[in-house]
A and B are shown apart, each in its own frame.
Chain A
């Protein structure tokens, strides 16, 4: 029994030896590494202009109307005070030949300057001047006048007395500033009633009253046609980045709306007319100016019965609006003369010194333009995580072919330069492998003579990055300097139509030479 057991053990050992000894395996399994080419679609996208041009402050899209408002100003508002006060200045003299000296009052009606007819008024400024004459050689005379309709700021009736010595003349005045006027119910004639009496004997006492330069902060009644003078106001347009298009864009359409509103603080205001309206655009930096004007001169307008003033919109057909918007001013200066009661209507109205005219204005140009060849620069930060950078670093080479179908009548050239964190250029990404041009060209759509797109433009570009460039991209690139040069495809800068639904199709595909690495420890 023993011997067979020895032999059995021998065969067991032999078997194990055969199996174990004839095979060697690595102590550590190390995954190999290799390069492989992956042919992948990098991007296939279709954009409409409405997608590309996101609505912003001054460029907006109306996809529903298939319109692009390339420049769409804010609605700007400005208030123009039409006068610090209402003035009637052309005064006159009214005389009382003989004033009784027996204590009875002599009544007369003194007209307002310029024959205004007031029902009520508040004086800002005004003077009532009286001159008394005393022909008596015996006694002096005291002439007293009172005006029941005028209440002084202290609440008392306007009263003025002048002591005229023997055979003399004396003048005195009453300051009406702050006084109010309310026509008494018993007053039937235009002007204001004044009562005068005198003391003294043996002579003739007479009186001259003189009124002029009445300034009212509020007045109700009839005022003759009156110019309130030229007033001007400046509206800042604040077009933001839209000013980048200055001197680069020709616009074929444009609209400017100007709406006025006469805002009166009291009901039943006077009718207002404006004349000599001028709209002046101004660029802040250069000081250059340009007037906006109708083709047929027209500068006089009347407020409607609802106190609104609606000027015909300035359009490309009735004005120089396209040149004006192309000029892209920073501000609008609106100057106008204001005329109150232009028809000299006798009916009563109210005017106050706080009455204003509010102007509302905006302008826009709608997707019909020509762009000279011009460039825009932008700097984009490359926001990549370290993991992203590590994955990119495994790339050994990239070849990308971009096929672009462009149904927008804009040609463009795009150059992208990668820089390090100090903006030192690393390399140009957009170098065409075939033409060696350093920018990608996007042919714009062909257009007919009316600027309508006839055929989309087609462009093919091949870009290659080698392993050195990919490493630079992964390790050092922090910014991309993007230079975009655009021009419209119309002949001789003829305007083209840009619509919100115009599209561009992008198909970028190619191969990535990728290094496969195992997760070896």
Chain B
């Protein structure tokens, strides 16, 4: 089971605290990524789905657009750590003349210092198989649909583990492993969105006010997450090792993965993974948003997204360990076995559990500068506040600022900055190519990592294309 979870951790960990159109900090479509994930008051069409469906009303009337795997799939990926750069990696894991590097005291100090702000490893990926939007007119409204997969996960290496591994255990010091974290999932969302203007509201301040609603059917194919950890190690008198261990991991996996759990000896099914898996969990989500245009150049947006839960009720399990163990005698096999059993824990099937969707509050404003510089220039600013810390979300508010400059009709140069959230500062950059019917998007939200070469700790790539009719 451990290996399987670890494998999923690695596979799914190709993501963590961010997802496409997902949560307050998740990775999004390539166009929004290039603006430093600034999207609340400047998206339109299919890119409004998951952000603020009301924005669909800012597309022209009788407009139809869609995105699929051709010519470029809508794919975003973010891989990296928050502690180790490629330079660091090369230094510590590149060897010396083909041999292992021997770590001196200063090397160990340097390596341990890398974990001073926790040691997160993550990889996120999102893939939109198909999305489409049609806006009839201001009275009928706009309709949208998308089918998108979000795969993500990550883990936090506890600082105490690194300290123990490098420097050993010091008597009297308490080594807490409570900062260990691991969470990941693979979910698929089917979103059905509708938006319309609200001419019923008599007002003359805004050019128009639109509201939108998305209902999502969510399927979960895999989940694992640390529910809680309260584990520490103390070295006492006579080097007595005292472990306090309380932890729990919850998981759920599609039955199409075959046998997953080690306790499930009667299960002999084999893995059979296809494009449409049997879900291990299902849920319903809701997005609601309001947008308003002012003076033809301003747009304001307010939305609450991903209200709902996923109920994991198929193939669910809990692994937990609970105990206080003292090692007073390394030669005592019973003590060693007790420790091993407590740290390893035991698994058992459960009736299920639920996880929140990454509910977020979104607020944004954009301003279209006309005749200031050649071409077009849109400037936008966002505030995103997550209500939980599930993957893609953060209770730490994130602010962002983006600019979209179209010097020519076919080219857009985009950049942006993001601060807050779980990732801190990020400089984004991207370009868009517009052939009229077809648009291409290329972006990275971590241009600051790209330009520093091997000092980078992560990289983000986002591509996409959109057909417009």
Contacts and interface: CB of A to CB of B under 8 A. Distances in A.
B374 interface: no
Interface in B59-96: 86, 89-90, 92-95
Contact of A41 (B100, B327, B451): B327
A53 B431 CA distance: 84
Given A22-B456, A39-B169, A509-B238, A28 B95 contact: yes
A328 to B, nearest CB: 36
B7 interface: no
Interface residues of B, number: 48
Contacts of B94: 26, 29-30
A516 B102 CA distance: 10
A47 interface: no
Given A15-B442, A32-B100, A33-B100, A42 B92 contact: no
Contact of B435 (A4, A24, A43, A509): A4
Nearest to A517: B100
A45 B94 CA distance: 45
A33 B103 CA distance: 6
Contacts of A23: 86, 453-454, 456, 459
Nearest to B102: A33
A44 B86 contact: no
A32 B92 contact: yes
A22 B330 contact: no
A507 B238 contact: yes
Interface stretch (A6-14, A103-111, A225-233, A265-273): A6-14
B354 interface: no
Given A32-B101, A33-B100, A40-B239, A25 B330 contact: no
B328 A34 contact: no
Interface string A364-385: 0000000000000000000000
Contact of B239 (A4, A11, A33, A510): A510
A30 B165 CA distance: 17
Interface string B396-438: 0000000000000011000000000000000000010101000
A403 interface: yes
B454 A22 contact: yes
A90 interface: no
Contacts of B103: 32-34
Interface string B290-333: 00000000000000000000000000000000000001111110
A39 B171 contact: yes
Nearest to B433: A8
B240 interface: yes
B170 A24 contact: no
B440 interface: yes
A447 B165 CA distance: 48
B99 interface: yes
B55 to A, nearest CB: 26
Contacts of A28: 95, 98
Given A23-B86, A41-B240, A33 B450 contact: no
Contact of B168 (A18, A29, A37, A41): A37
B395 interface: no
Nearest to B171: A39
Nearest to B432: A11
13 contacts: A5-B435, A8-B433, A19-B450, A22-B454, A29-B93, A30-B93, A30-B101, A32-B93, A33-B100, A33-B102, A33-B103, A39-B235, A41-B327
Given A28-B95, A41-B240, A41-B329, 14 more contacts: A4-B410, A8-B433, A24-B90, A25-B89, A31-B100, A32-B93, A33-B101, A34-B108, A39-B169, A39-B235, A40-B241, A40-B327, A42-B329, A43-B332
Leading 5 A-B pairs by shortest Cβ distance: A30-B95, A34-B103, A37-B168, A26-B94, A509-B239
Interface of B: 86, 89-90, 92-95, 98-103, 107-108, 165-171, 235, 238-241, 327-332, 410-411, 431, 433, 435, 440, 442, 444, 450-451, 453-454, 456, 459, 461
Interface of A: 1, 4-5, 7-8, 11-12, 15, 18-19, 22-26, 28-34, 36-45, 403, 507, 509-511, 516-518, 520
